[in-house]
Copies of this chain bind each other. A is one copy, B any other.
């Protein structure tokens, strides 16, 4: 017997027929003797409609009211799934975020889960054999008593947080893909599904643009040691053996990886913009003068490349921001020109960041060097490079994205045979 959290996203609960299908997935696990908590998203399209209504009512709407409106989507799904479970003979009840409660910060529309009260859930799972159907994406800020939401993809995070709170053996994320791939299969048809990946690698993959899981959910899984299993919700619920892992990807501790690859996956993001500040005065405090105003303007800076000054007086500094913030970032820097002290500002939006990720890099030298050579051979210019312990990222011209990703995918032996 295991204790499981099963999470179903919007497309898996898009209509009553699919909700019934989800109920059959749950029944399979119950029949196998497991204790199950389910976390659900809003029916696909519902959240978009609610968000649109808020925008129509006022472009600058109160995030607290937005949260009250938008959280209703998950409330509907959790009730309907509880009904569907009862209809096939499974004891079940719905739980809204405020009922458990799922305690969050007060950062409405992008709140952070602080704690989940799992005591009553555990009692019911165990004593009453009752499936808990929990609305994902939402919580409550206890001081104000108001509903909060976690931001897009937040139901993944809800699921892992609930799993941690009830000491679940695993958190199964049912989604419209059947696992985590070495890279985007739409770009590289030879991309392979990974059987296992470490939390740290998944964190890099997720934050580098692979859209399978919300980053925060992987962080929580890592901190609380909850294995996360990404699997397809389109498999027939009745054809799966609940005692075996079906096709999918297990995100787990590094020690549990069966075989370690040097490179596990390649992520890329086209939503980047590059800004270069030329001949910045090379003196203490200049980085703070640049990135302070950007942070104040809520602009997320990603890659930062600063070279050692050649003339001892000035240097060039390059960084990337989300493409949507490009103009605003340039204006912010220009406004602080006197304070920073630089000659010229230039930038580009037709750039892509390609990241190569793998825990094996820790122990293997020259992994990045191979990439530089291979890309140079294909005439792909590298604008900037950043590295960390388990990944390196390259900024290149967008036009070469597909070529670069495919080249690196082959180079590191990731192509499926």
Q: Among the listed stretches A93-101, A169-177, A296-304, which one makes contact with chain B, having 4 or more residues with CB under 8 Å of it? A: A93-101
Query: Which residues of chain B are near A93, meaning CB under 8 Å?
Result: 64-65
Q: Name the one of B64, B76, B83 contacting A58, with C-beta atoms under 8 angstroms.
A: B83
- Closest B-chain residue to A74, C-beta based? B72
- Closest B-chain residue to A100, C-beta based? B145
Tell me which residues from 44 to 80 in chain A have a Cβ below 8 Å from any Cβ of chain B: 50, 53-54, 56-58, 60-62, 64-69, 71-73, 75-76, 78-80
Q: Name the one of B60, B75, B83 contacting A66, with C-beta atoms under 8 angstroms.
A: B83
Q: Name the one of B54, B69, B83, B84 contacting A75, with C-beta atoms under 8 angstroms.
A: B69
Bound together, the chains give a CA A66 to CA B83 distance in angstroms of: 8
Q: Name the one of B20, B57, B84 contacting A19, with C-beta atoms under 8 angstroms.
A: B57
Measured CB to CB, the closest approach of chain B to A143, in angstroms, equals 13
Please tell me if A386 contacts chain B, counting CB pairs below 8 Å.
Answer: no
Question: How many A residues, CB 8 Å from partner?
Answer: 39
- With A56-B16, A57-B20, A93-B64 already in contact, the answer to whether A79 and B83 are too (CB < 8 A) is no
Bound together, the chains give a CA A147 to CA B71 distance in angstroms of: 15
Binding site for B on A (CB under 8 A): 16, 19-20, 50, 53-54, 56-58, 60-62, 64-69, 71-73, 75-76, 78-80, 82-84, 86-87, 93-94, 96, 98-99, 145-147
Given contacts A57-B80, A68-B96, A72-B72, 12 further A-B contacts (CB under 8 A): A53-B76, A54-B80, A54-B83, A57-B84, A61-B87, A62-B86, A65-B93, A65-B94, A69-B79, A72-B76, A75-B75, A99-B145
